[in-house]
Amino acid sequence: MTASIRSLFRPLSALFKGALLGTALLAAGSSHASEWPEHPITMLMGFPAGSGVDVIARSIQEPLQQALGVPVVIDYRSGAGGNLASAAVARAKPDGYTILLGTAATHGINPAIYKELPFDVEEDFTPIAPLIDVSNVLTINPKVIDVNTVEDFIAEVKANPNKYYFASTGVGTGTQLAFEEFNARAGLKMVHVPYKGGPEALQSVVKGETCCIFNQVQTVLGQYKAGTVRLLGVSTAKRIDVVKDVPAIAEKAIPGFDSYIWFGLFGPKGMDPALVRKINAAATQALQNPDVAKRLTSTGNTIHVSSPEKFRQTVHDNRTKWAEIVKAAGVTIQ
C-alpha cells in the first residue's frame, strides 16, 4: 500500500477509534447508572422543619428510600427564601447524591424578587421530577368583610379602594404574589401587610387585624373547620376534592385564573440523564404509593407526575409568569 493510499485511511481509522471510545464511554455511563446509588442521598430543603415544605419532604422520604434502596437524608438549610439550599445544590457534584426539594418560590419567584442570586435557576440545575401542585384559597374573616362569593368580594373591595388589608407570610412570598395577581386581574386596590410566617399571617385574619389571605389549603383547613374563617375560592383552574364545595375563582369571577405553588426535585447541572430518569421513576413510584397519595391529597395537594423534560418547561413558564407579576407589583428584595 503506497503512502498516499495509507494517508487516505488515517481519517477513517481515527473516526473508527473515536466511535469505539464513544461507545465505551456510553457503556461506562450506563454501568455507573445501573450501580447507582451506593450510599445515602441528601435532599436539601431551604425551609425549616415543621414548615409546609417539610411536610412534603417527610411524606415522600420513606417511599423514596424504598424505591431507591438507600437512605434519603433531609438536610435543612433554611434562610434567604430558600436560596441557601439552592446555592448549595448548584455547587454540588452532579452525581445524584445531592438533590434539592425546590418550589415555585425558589425557582419561579426568587429570581424575580432578589436582585442578585449566586446561581441561575434554569442554567445551574437539572430538573428531575415534579411532585405536587398546591392550590391557594381566598380566605376571609366574615366579621371584617361579610361576603359569600368571590364576585361579592371583588365588588366590595372595588367600591372601597385601599380600605381592606390583606395578610401575607412575608414580602415576596407566594401568599403575597397570589394576591397581587388576583388584585391585578380583578382591578382591586388593597393594602398589603406582611408577617414573619404562616401562623402569624393566618392569626391576623382570625383576629380581624386583616380581612383576608391567599394561603395553601392545608394551612387554613383547621380554622375553616372551626368556623373562624370562610373560604371563597380556590386559585387553581379546577376545584379540589378536600374542599369540593368551594368554587374555583376561574369558574365565574375571573375566567382563566390559575395560580398555584408547585414542589419538585432538582439536581446540579450536568447530571447523567440515566440518573435523572432513575430518580424520576423513584419519585413517581413514591407518589403512587396509596398511603402517600392519600396523605398528600387529603390536605388539598394535587399529585403531579411527568417527565424531566416537561418539568423543565414548567419551571421556565413559571419563572416567566412570576417575573411579570413581580414587575407589575414592584416587589423587590435586596
What digits encode the pLDDT tens for the residues 231-268?
999 999 999 999 999 999 999 999 999 998 999 999 99
| Per-residue model confidence (pLDDT) at position 7 | 46
pLDDT tens figures, 29-69:
454 567 899 999 999 999 888 777 888 899 999 999 999 99
Residue 79's pLDDT band, with cuts at 50, 70 and 90, is confident
The residue with cell 423534560 is 309
Q: Quick one: which of 10, 173, 202 has its CA closest to 82?
A: 173
* Rounded-to-integer distance, Cα 95 and Cα 32, Å: 10
Q: Which amino acid is at 150?
A: V
Cα separation of the two ends of the chain:
72
DSSP 230-277: EEEEESSSS--GGGTTSPBTTTTTSTT---EEEEEEEEETT--HHHHH
DSSP state of 81: G
Half-sphere exposure of 306 (CA within 13 A, CB side): 17
CB atoms within 10 A of CB 8: 10
Per-residue pLDDT at 327 exceeds 80: yes
Query: 11 to each of 5, 102, 236, how far by Cα in Å?
Result: 12, 48, 59
Share of the chain above pLDDT 90, in %: 74
* Rounded-to-integer distance, Cα 220 and Cα 77, Å: 26
Are 271 and 127 spatial neighbours (Cβ–Cβ below 8 Å)?
no
Q: Give buried/exposed letters for 274-295 (b at 16+ CB in 10 A, else e).
A: bbbebbbebbbbbbebeebbee
To the nearest 5 percent, what fractions of the chain are helix, strand and coil?
50, 20, 30
| Per-residue model confidence (pLDDT) at position 331 | 86
pLDDT tens figures, 164-209:
999 998 888 888 999 999 999 999 999 999 998 888 999 999 999 9
Share of the chain above pLDDT 70, in %: 90
pLDDT tens figures, 84-106:
999 999 999 999 999 999 999 99
Query: 105 to each of 84, 214, 218, 291, how far by Cα in Å?
Result: 13, 15, 17, 27
Cβ neighbours of residue 282 under 8 Å, at least 6 residues apart? Answer: 64, 67, 68
Per-residue pLDDT at 80 exceeds 80: yes
Whether the upstream peptide bond of residue 37 has omega within 30° of 0, thus cis, is: yes
CB atoms within 10 A of CB 95: 16
Are 77 and 234 spatial neighbours (Cβ–Cβ below 8 Å)?
no
| Per-residue model confidence (pLDDT) at position 127 | 98
* Rounded-to-integer distance, Cα 101 and Cα 90, Å: 12
pLDDT tens figures, 205-214:
999 999 999 9
Per-residue pLDDT at 25 exceeds 70: no
